[in-house]
Amino acid sequence: MLLQLTFLAAIALATAHHGFTTPSRAIAVLSTETIRGNITFTQVQDGKVHVQGGITGLPPGEYGFHVHEKGDLSGGCLSTGSHFNPEHKDHGHPNDVNRHVGDLGNVVFDENHYSRIDLVDDQISLSGPHGIIGRAVVLHEKADDYGKSDHPDSRKTGNAGGRVACGVIGIL
């Protein structure tokens, strides 16, 4: 028993010595035959996350943009599971209190097939129960309706359609 306690104490000291800290930045890289993008996530002082980046390769319009529960790309974007929703809420707008944690709304592509992303979200985090590191960011084929339409998929997925690009969120 004393040997086990000594071993556990040694692990605790080694961990403390290496100074493991909560990550402050993360990145997701999206790459398909036609779509490319880098998205960074920065934890800011007030507990919010600043999401920035750019994506190229889609025609002008709005496209759903969400964090999904799994960072598994073994079967393409379909392997990423559902929207990240640890609170088991209905789908919603990013400004809604009651929404999936992963509901980041829509990104807008311009006439040059480019989308500049610059948003701040108060529900995702880089650590803790709402932590997104190791999960995936997914770009969908249609606009997110924010759970506000009568479509049967609206309150579950925002009726944003299929997945056109995705990337695992990793520590930067």
pLDDT in tens, 13-32: 444 445 557 889 999 999 99
Q: Is residue 15 part of a domain?
A: no
User: Residues with catalytic annotation?
Assistant: 66, 68, 83, 91, 100, 103, 140, 163
Q: Is residue 17 part of a domain?
A: no
Q: Which residues are annotated as a binding site?
A: 18, 66, 68, 83, 88, 91, 100, 103, 140
Q: Is residue 132 part of a domain?
A: yes
Q: Is residue 2 part of a domain?
A: no
Cβ(102)–Cβ(87) below 8 Å: no
Give me 172's structure tokens.
């930067």
Q: Which residues are annotated as a binding site for Zn(2+)?
A: 83, 91, 100, 103
Overall average pLDDT of the 120-138 stretch: 97
Higher pLDDT among residues 21 and 70, named by residue: 70
For the cut 80, the answer to whether the pLDDT of residue 171 exceeds it is: yes
Overall average pLDDT of the 82-92 stretch: 96
What pLDDT is attached to residue 22?
80
Burial of residue 56 (number of CB atoms within 10 Å: 0-12, 13-18, 19+): middle
The number of folded domains in the chain is: 1
Q: Is residue 66 part of a domain?
A: yes
Higher pLDDT among residues 4 and 148, named by residue: 148
What pLDDT is attached to residue 4?
43
Q: Which residues are annotated as a binding site for Cu(2+)?
A: 18, 66, 68, 83, 88, 140
Q: Is residue 86 part of a domain?
A: yes
Segments forming the whole domain that contains residue 66:
23-171
Q: Which residues pair with 39 in a beta bridge?
A: 28, 53
* Total-model pTM: 0.86
Q: Is residue 111 part of a domain?
A: yes
Q: Is residue 30 part of a domain?
A: yes
The CATH number for 44's domain is 2.60.40.200
Instruction: Tell me the residue ranges of DSSP E strands in the chain.
Output: 25-31, 36-43, 49-56, 61-68, 74-77, 103-109, 114-121, 136-140, 163-171
